[in-house]
A and B are shown apart, each in its own frame.
Chain A
Amino acid sequence: MIGAGIKRGTAELAVLSVLEDGPLHGYEMARRIERQTKGSLHFTLAALYPMLYRMERRRWIRGNWETSDNGRRRRCYRLTAAGREKLSPLRQEWSELFQALRRLKKVANA
């Protein structure tokens, strides 16, 4: 299981990444992240929404109310141009970090 500190850092990247495929509402977003990470990243309501609101304030994502087929109103989030701009360098940085950690492991095992 991944620790809380790392999860905090990866949370924004996870949200931006799943929204890259298309708009999602909060519940769907949380489930998709959980499914795609095989349960390593689990967003509770308390963790997800303050982060979504913060990302919306930074204009990385935009939320709009939509009515589903069963008449239920849900707030769907989309990636904005600013969010898309943020995604690529974030991915690169995390990839560099993981590579560095892998190298560190090799050094430790040598």
Chain B
Amino acid sequence: MPDWQALVRRQLDGLALEPRERAEVIEELASHLIETFEGLRRQGFTEEDAAQQCMTEVKDWHDLRRRIQSARRKEDIMTNRIKQFWIPGLLTFVLAMSFLALLQKFGPKPWVVALRGVLPVATLYIPWLLSLPLIGATGAYLSHRTGGSQRAVFSSIVFPVLPYLLLFLVGFPVALIVDEHVAHNIMFSAFIVGLFAWVLLPAVALLAGGLPVQLFVSRRLNSRRIVGN
């Protein structure tokens, strides 16, 4: 039997991967050729014919090397993450925060609500909440268009509320522990009201725009991809 490992190593010489990764690729491809060879021998091929048949598995080793390199490149993972999550996420965040800042400066007064008419209160910017479905839809479209997974698309949609969620989950408990001036008796109610006004309600608004777009674009792009193939 030919030394398939040596053959693959020789043919893939210059494969631009980490040494361990390169060794694994060589071992895997050699193992495939060994099994192909043994399978052909079991079918009654002579050793020479089986070896010749195995060689037809790869017509152009140079092209295979290039395609393996391209398929395993680590930087592509990073590029994809940037395209599918960070860019759409940051864009939705910037859009949402810029519009909120404009509303706070030039817009109508916010709607101030209180639980049972007493503290703690929540400040709701209604025009901002109404704009969020559009912003969520933008995030979903951009993330899905670049091939984002459902998780990446979902994260891009709700990205603008993630800093608030972090603030409530980390900032509040820390303030409660560190700042002795904080009135502990109203803290829990304030936490719930704040979470509702700045995290849950905006997240629902973002998803109300983002999820239908994700569904719609997903169907359209996939149909196009199939036809394109």
Chain B residues whose C-beta falls within 8 Å of the C-beta of A94 in the assembled complex: 226
13 A-B pairs with C-beta separation under 8 A? A9-B225, A9-B229, A27-B31, A44-B56, A45-B29, A45-B32, A46-B63, A46-B64, A65-B24, A73-B27, A75-B24, A94-B226, A97-B227
For B218, list chain A residues within 8 Å (CB). 89
- The reply to whether the CB of B71 lies closer than 8 angstroms to some CB of chain A is yes
**Residues of chain B within 8 A of A48, CB atoms compared:** 32
Kindly state whether residue B77 has any CB partner on chain A within 8 Å. Answer: yes
| Chain B residues near A (Cβ < 8 Å) | 24-25, 27-29, 31-36, 39, 56-60, 63-64, 67-68, 70-72, 76-77, 149-150, 218, 222-223, 225-227, 229
What is the minimal beta-carbon distance from A95 to any residue of chain B, in angstroms?
Answer: 11
State the Cβ distance, B17 to closest chain A Cβ, in Å. Answer: 10
> Are B33 and A45 in touch, CB under 8 angstroms?
yes
- A49 with B28, Cβ < 8 A, contacts A6-B229, A31-B39, A93-B223 known: yes
Nearest chain A CB to B24 CB, angstrom units: 7
Q: Shortest distance in angstroms between B218's beta carbon and chain A's nearest beta carbon? A: 7
Q: Number of A-B pairs whose CB atoms are under 8 Å?
A: 80
Chain A interface (Cβ < 8 Å from any Cβ of B): 5-6, 8-10, 25-27, 31, 44-46, 48-51, 53-54, 57, 59, 65, 72-75, 82, 85, 89-90, 93-94, 96-97
Q: Closest residue of chain A to B33, judged by CB?
A: A45
Which of B34, B57, B58, B68 touches A53 (beta carbons < 8 Å)?
Answer: B68
Q: B72: which A residues are within 8 A, CB to CB?
A: 53, 57
Report whether A73 and B39 are in contact in the complex, using a CB–CB cutoff of 8 Å.
no
Write the nearest CB–CB distance from B153 to chain A, whole angstroms: 12
With A9-B229, A93-B226 known as contacts, the answer to whether A27 contacts B35 (CB < 8 A) is: yes
| CA of A10 to CA of B31, assembled, Å | 25
User: Which B residues are CB-close (under 8 A) to A82?
Assistant: 149
Contacting pair A44 B57 (CB below 8 A)? yes
- A8 contacts across to B, CB distance below 8 A: 229
B-chain residues with CB within 8 Å of residue A53 when the two chains form the complex = 68, 71-72
Contacting residues, chain A, for B56 (C-beta < 8 A): 44
